[in-house]
Structure 1
Amino acid sequence: MRTVLVVLFDAVQSLDVTGPVEVFAGAENYRDGSYRIRTASPDGTPVRTSSGLALVPDHSFADAPAPHTLLVPGGAGTRRPDPRVTDWLREHGPRAERLVSVCTGALLLAGAGLLDGRRATTHWAYCDKLARDHPAIQVDPDPIYVRDGQVFTSAGVTSGIDLALALVEEDLGRDAALAIARHLVVFLRRPGNQAQFSAQLAAQTAQREPLREVQQWITEHPDDDLSVESLSARARLSPRHFARAFRTETGMTPGRYVERVRLEHARRLLEDTADGIEEISRAAGYGTPEAMRRAFVKTLGSAPAEYRRRFRPAPTH
């Protein structure tokens, strides 16, 4: 049995705690004796989450059991951390067989010196802070989770569920993780190197209606002519004015936005359909399998066929 110990503190993000806990609890339902889930706060008294929910820990730090997996959630409480938390992590973190952070929990691990010399991620809004405050950490702002040895860091909030599912898959196999994902009605499909947010979330929504309509058109027609000339005509602007306005209002160039939309569309087709690579490359607007392959390797580090083999759920019978 693997003991999963979750660190609690005031102003913790509740979903950072409950999301992974539900995954590990689901594994216990799938196979008895898989995990023992425990929580601990500095003095063993209840903590209040950032949303106002009260959580009652099982232990104080002093009497907490030795964990197999030590899970450190994030939340507002990581911005001005309780020194009792970072001091305890500094001493006990290296003893865990597996050290895991969710969201800005990485800030606590960094403050305890446990990420120095490692690659790590956190919520996209705090990656710059993590890199600035801790230059010894190789901060990667793109993935939803990162593994460096036995240290795992994840991005914002719900990515803790993705990481917990990946850990269950490592411990108990894909069938267990898939059964839990189905029970929780979430996808067992998000690889760690998937971007933290979709093209639509990565870009700001344009203020002007013609530009918003162009954003929506790109999303719905990735296989169309999405050149600046074509898109600017749709927005009834000159190409130069359109390109400048689009970047100003969305935070990225039209070309970059199109790249993200096409990659996301192709990824979903690889995950959700049995369509061939050539067919998908046309549907996503790449034109040729080679063009799609280059985009996948550049952004995701794997070719489309490899991506499909690794991340498409196996058929069930």
Structure 2
Amino acid sequence: MTKHYLEASEYLYNYKHAPEESSLCALEQRTLFGEESDNLIKSTIKIEPSRSPFIKGRLSILFSDKSVQAIAEQVDQIELKNQSFKVRFLKINDLSSKQKIEYAEQRMIESEIGWKINGEAQMKNPDILFGIVPFEGRWYFGTYQESEPVWLHHVKKPKEYSTAISTRLARTVINIAVPDPSGLRVIDPCCGIGTVLVEALSMGIQIVGSDLNPLVVQGARENISYFSYDGIVEVKDIAVEEGHYDVAIIDMPYNLFCQATPEEQYAIIKHAKRIADRVVILTIEDMDQMILMAGFTIVDRGVANKGKKGLFSRQVIVCE
């Protein structure tokens, strides 16, 4: 492989989400990249595409030009030696309906690029997957890594809890709470059966969990062990938590499912302010006043809707 092949410094992420997920997806995008888009984001920030339920894949940009022909003239710099390859036209792009490229032309573009690459073309299970995509009036070519829906593997677990958030939402919330996990200490002090813990541990994030209910703590431990992760979960009230963390994630649907008073809700938020620098709160209620009274600043927010009609929704509030 040529030196150029190894030097991608920009990336294109293609996105797909349901209409009811638009607010949540946009919040995750703003947190990870500082911008939002319906379909493609170009960035110098490199993240694993499987981190997000909304990212379909990541194109590591090798060449960019005004036409497919201009790209084809450059790809002969790539030397794959004994590796096989495939070129894929990325269907998620920013072309308008009038500009859409039909199937036959997509295949022609793939062939035009593929003929110029020095290597063995392989349609099934290639060693290297390349992608080409139009974006903002230019064409981009590079290696393409598809997202793997890791969170789907965590849906079925030994212990379930009717009020637990989905694995998809949990993974998104972790990205919003911890956009760059390097060296950060994270806590979920109201962890329930550990949905957030499992997703965070699967992403290599240093997280601990706790809960007042011994039964759900035991359930969280079983779920973590079931997926072969190693995590600490304790029976503990947030009021007696003495450690300090970079980030806390708190799911607070208390008035609907528990007999917690507003005073108890406020105490949880106040203690979260004491133990963490950044807190992401999930709530079905308006808690802005409590959050501000606790000394937080609300820096961003989104809505996680359940179902196409959004009959049940949680606010996702980022506090610092």
Q: Which structure shows the higher helix fraction?
A: 1
Q: Which structure shows the higher strand fraction?
A: 2
TM-score (norm 1): 0.24
